[in-house]
Amino acid sequence: MDFPVKPLITLLAIVNPIGVVPFFLHFTQGFTEPQRQRTANIAAFSAFVVVTTSALLGLQVLEFFGITLASFQVGGGLLLMMSSIKMLHAEPAESKGQDIDEGASRAAAGASIAVVPLTIPLLTGPAAISTVVIYAEKARHFGEMFTLVIYGVIIGLSTWLAFNAAQRIGKFLGQTGINVMTRLMGLILAAIAVEVMADGLIKLFPVLAGSR
């Protein structure tokens, strides 16, 4: 198993807090500094909760619905590939235009934008959840599962740091710099997506292993 580096790199590529900074700035326009700080705190904690819950309970949910991990790997790999394609076009990994518009309207109605759309789907959407569940299945002992929980802490901390530095990041990188970083992470994510899908397909169709 590729602990501890690959799962963390994969999650950071998918979550990509810096890529979500422009949306954080957009949704918090007109906020006071304490309001902006509170939004960053809630979004960071929510990202941690999503990753940790997926690691600890994701497999049980699959078993409840009778879904095999191999099928989930192929589906999750496809989601990763879709996310990477969006990132290569400098779009947020988990976003859709209608989701962002819906999130804005909910914010105007008083709903918490820290959870929707910032955490879900912009930060931790289906691709992130799928990735955590796939790596949770590969965990062979408590230490490796605990490592995934630590990754959740790192994701939450990364989100908190990026959002708290949003003003400075936006000025320093500019939109062009953010786009370049998003594309680079998208390229890495595409390669990982191929590996995830290949692993799932070999489990579904063992004959493919003989063709290597």
Residues 155-202: pLDDT tens digits?
A: 999 999 999 999 898 788 787 887 887 788 788 888 888 988 898 899
What is the pTM for the complete model shown? 0.73
Task: Give the Cα separation of 33 and 36 in Å (integer).
Answer: 5
Residues 4-29: pLDDT tens digits?
A: 688 898 899 989 998 888 888 877 87
For the segment 29-55, the average pLDDT, to the nearest whole number, is 90
Residue 110 maps to a domain: yes
Distances (CA, A) of 82 to 19, 22, 68: 16, 21, 21
- Residue among 45, 200, 13 nearest 120 (CA): 45
**Confidence check: pLDDT of 34 > 70:** yes
Residue 208 maps to a domain: no
Secondary structure (DSSP) of 65-102:
HT--HHHHHHHHHHHHHHHHHHHHTT--TT--HHHHHH
CB 132 within 8 A of CB 54: yes
- Residue among 43, 12, 33, 67 nearest 115 (CA): 43
User: What token pair was written down for 49?
Assistant: 């909760």
Residue 65 maps to a domain: yes
- Residue among 111, 126, 113 nearest 40 (CA): 113
pLDDT score, position 93: 47
Look at the chain and report how many structural domains it folds into. Answer: 1
For residue 30, what are the domain limits?
A: 5-202
Band of the pLDDT at 96, cuts 50, 70, 90?
Answer: very low
For the segment 45-69, the average pLDDT, to the nearest whole number, is 91
pLDDT score, position 126: 79
Residues 118-154: pLDDT tens digits?
A: 888 789 987 889 889 989 988 888 888 899 999 999 9
For helices 142-164 and 126-138, angle between their N-to-C axes, nearest 10 degrees = 150
**Confidence check: pLDDT of 84 > 70:** yes
CB 79 within 8 A of CB 128: no
Task: Give the Cα separation of 140 and 142 in Å (integer).
Answer: 7
Sheet strands (E) in the chain: none
For the segment 37-44, the average pLDDT, to the nearest whole number, is 92
Residue 209 maps to a domain: no
Band of the pLDDT at 97, cuts 50, 70, 90?
Answer: very low
Residue 140 maps to a domain: yes
Residues in CB range of 52: below 8 A, 6 or more apart: 148, 149, 152
Residue 25 maps to a domain: yes
Task: Give the Cα separation of 89 and 119 in Å (integer).
Answer: 21
Task: Give the Cα separation of 166 and 87 in Å (integer).
Answer: 19
pLDDT score, position 195: 86
